[in-house]
Every structure is written in C-alpha cells, then in structure tokens.
Amino acid sequence: MNLPCRITLNQFLIEERRRFPHASGDFNSLILQVALACKSIARQVALGAPGACGDSGAVNVQGETQHRLDVAGNRIFIDLNEWGGNLAGMVSEEMEGPYPIPERYPRGKYLLLFDPLDGSSNIDVNVAVGSIFSVLRAPGGDAAPACEADFLQPGSAQVAAGYAIYGPATMLVLSVGKGVNGFTLDADLGEFMLTHPALAIPADTGEFAINASNSRVWEAPVKRYVDECLAGRSGVRGKDFNMRWIASLVAEAHRILMRGGVFLYPCDSRHAHMQGRLRLLYEANPVGFLIEQAGGRASTGRQPVLGLTPSALHQRVGLVFGAREEVDRIERYHHDARPDLPSPLFHEHGLFRAPA
C-alpha cells in the first residue's frame, strides 16, 4: 500500500477501498462512526466520567452487574451508529435482543456487534479497559430489519473486527480482512493515526496468561499444559515461561498482538453447561479474527473458534488464542486427553496439592 508517512484512519480506509472500485463507501463510513464512538468513550474514561463510575444498580442479560460506563458506552455506540444508513441492526452485551434501526433512519447492509466496555470492573482501579466490535454482512441486505438469526454467523464470515483500548494512550486495533493495523489517537488532532502497521504474532512464545485461581476446576489438558509451562527449563518444554493475568480481554489481546504470547480462558467444570465464559459473537469472534489475521490462532481449546456456528446471541465459549504453536499444542492435548490420568499439578509433590 502506497501511503504517506503520517496517515489517519480515514486515509487508510480510503486506500483500502481503492482495492474495490465498486465499493459504495458505506463500510468506511461505518468504521469511522465506530471509531468516533470509541473516541467518545475514551474521553469519558480519561476524564474519570464524574458520576459514571461504579454500579448502575441494574444487571444485563448475562445476569452481571452493569457499571454506569457500561450503560453509557452502550448508548454511545447506538446513538453514533443508528442514523448513518450503514446498518440493518446491532447487538450488544448489554442488550437482550437485537437493536432495530429506527424507521426514521435508512437501513444498510451491515450488522454491528459490540461489547461497549470490556473489563469495566477494572475502571475503579484504573486498569486498561476497552471496546470490542465485529462487523457482519446482513443476510437480507437492507431489505428488512435484522432479526436474531441474521447475527448467528460463524466468525469466519466477519468483514471487519477490532477493539479500542483505553490505557496510557488510546489505540484502535483493526482488521478489515487483510492483516491487522494499530492506530493511536492523536489528542491534538483528534484523529487515529497509523502507528503499528502489519501487526504479527510470533509462532512461538515464552509467556502465557491464565487465571491460576481457577486451577481446581480446569480440565486435565489445561492442567497438563500449565504444569509443563511452570516446570520451566527443567521440564519437558525445556524453557522458562512467564505467567500473566490482567482480567481484561482487550488488554490481554493487546499485549499478545504487541509482543506475543498465549491466552487461556478455557471451559472448566463450573462452566461445562455453557462451554465457557466469554461471549462468542462480540468477544471471542472479533478477537479471534484479529489474532488469526495477525498470524496467530484462536480456538475453543478443541477447535477453531471462527468455525463455530452460533446458536444464540449471548452464547459463551472457552477461548485460547495467541502463538500458533502453543494453541496447536493445547488443542492436541485436548484431543489426546485421557481422563484417567491426573495432572502432575495435583500430585502429592505437585505445584498444587489436592485436598484430602
């Protein structure tokens, strides 16, 4: 791509559109409106959003307590995207069903799926949070309002996905189906500038992220993998690993896209009835799309996550993503698992001693 030295998100999208001479421009308009929503949320987060922190007193469809910024972020996404004529409908973590485009606005040929504020429980302790989004084509185009079934497409059908991360700097990380690029918000210009072109995840790593407090409910293949990493250079892997855990999906994905690694939020014995904790449509799929566009892999632990056909808007899954070789190994351990073999983590002299 022949681009000037400092390019804005808008310039980047125009160059991408030139590869498709018959494109209408609706797609670019949608991405720019999403970016505007992210700028607005970034401002609220950065300013401390007086009155916006803390619980709202309500719960979302997941049964989780909503923070005031969850509600505010959801409203921002809706207000800035419903009027543009680019969408047939929207779904969000914070809404029970699809949001129909009001009749006073024209409908478009795309669907927007989003988590307006991932990791909002970290707001009160000033840890990086973010917004995640996914774009699909509406099966019926703009002929009719979108229904729930229209959103139940596999992640491989996404035409774009991305996230904004609100940390020391605000960044928008985006894929429009040809690699992954990172844009940093220039506060003076009010524009996202391309700062991290062609992000790529190394195939191997010495870093993994998992919530070790859940070790008692991990499945045997996950216990095996973590135990081998913790054994370090004296173990079967023959090298030392570092363990990380931020408890913010956006922050975990961002770290891996910036410097590599592997992330595990697997299905466990607490979540077997719903196959995991992360939402397939507006968390696992968009993050998985970015990771695979950057050369990594995203899996449920057993199969590629982008190949799953969703059965419900708020379906949850286990998620493992990052360095290709590590995700391959974790999948292999699940396929080879023998339930009669306990993990060394829980042997008498293992890292974690099983309760008597």
Residue 33 sits in the same domain as residue 162: yes
Helix (H) or strand (E) holding 319: strand 319-322
Among 130, 164, 196, which residue terminates a domain? 196
User: What pLDDT is recorded for position 122?
Assistant: 74
CATH number at residue 185: 3.30.540.10
Residues 132 and 166 in one domain: yes
Assign 353 a pLDDT band (cuts: 50, 70, 90): very low
Has residue 54 been placed in a domain?
yes
One domain, residues 269 and 297: yes
pLDDT score recorded for residue 272: 63
For residues 61 and 158, state if they share a domain.
yes
Residues 267 and 184 in one domain: no
Is residue 51 scored above 50 in pLDDT? no
Residues 58 and 138 reside in one and the same domain: yes
Nearest to 36 by CA among 86, 79, 100, 98: 79
State the pLDDT confidence band at 143, using cuts at 50, 70 and 90: low
Could you read off the pLDDT of 85-142 as tens digits, one per residue? 999 999 999 999 999 999 999 999 999 999 999 987 777 777 889 999 999 999 987 6
Contacts of 151 (CB under 8 A, 6+ apart): 89, 91, 98, 111, 113, 136, 281, 310, 313
For residue 188, the model assigns a pLDDT of 92
| pLDDT for residue 61 is more than 70 | no
Query: Residue 3: inside a domain, yes or no?
Result: no
Q: Can you give the pTM of this predicted structure?
A: 0.89
In a domain, 192, yes or no: yes
| Weakest mean pLDDT among 58-62, 146-150, 234-238, 344-348 | 344-348
Residue 23 shares a structural domain with residue 165: yes
Q: What is the CATH number of the domain that holds 227?
A: 3.40.190.80
Structural domain of 318: 207-346
| Domain contains 293 | yes
Residue 163 domain flag: yes
Can you tell me which residue has the tokens 């940390």? 167
Q: Are residues 35 and 139 in the same domain?
A: yes
Q: Name the token pair of 144.
A: 């009719």
Q: Name the more confident of 272 and 315.
A: 315
Q: How many domains does the chain have?
A: 2
Q: What is the pLDDT of residues 158-202, one digit of tens each?
A: 999 999 999 999 999 999 999 999 999 999 999 999 999 999 999
319-337 confidence digits (pLDDT tens): 999 999 999 999 999 999 7
Nearest Cα to 329, choosing from 220, 222, 194, 185? 222
Residues 94 and 184 in one domain: yes
Give the contacts of 10 (CB within 8 A, at least 6 positions apart). 28, 32, 191
Average pLDDT over all residues of the chain? 88
The reply to whether 113 and 244 lie within a common domain is no
pLDDT for the residue numbered 57: 53
Domain shared by 71 and 99, yes or no: yes
Say if 280 falls within a structural domain: yes
Q: Which of 66-70, 75-79, 167-171, 348-352 has the lowest mean pLDDT?
A: 348-352
Residue 100 lies in a domain: yes
Query: Do 163 and 311 reside in the same domain of the chain?
Result: no
Of 171, 196, 221, the residue at which a domain comes to its end is 196
- 201 in any annotated domain: no
End-of-domain residue from the set 170, 196, 222? 196
pLDDT in tens, 264-309: 999 988 866 667 899 999 999 999 999 999 999 999 999 999 999 9
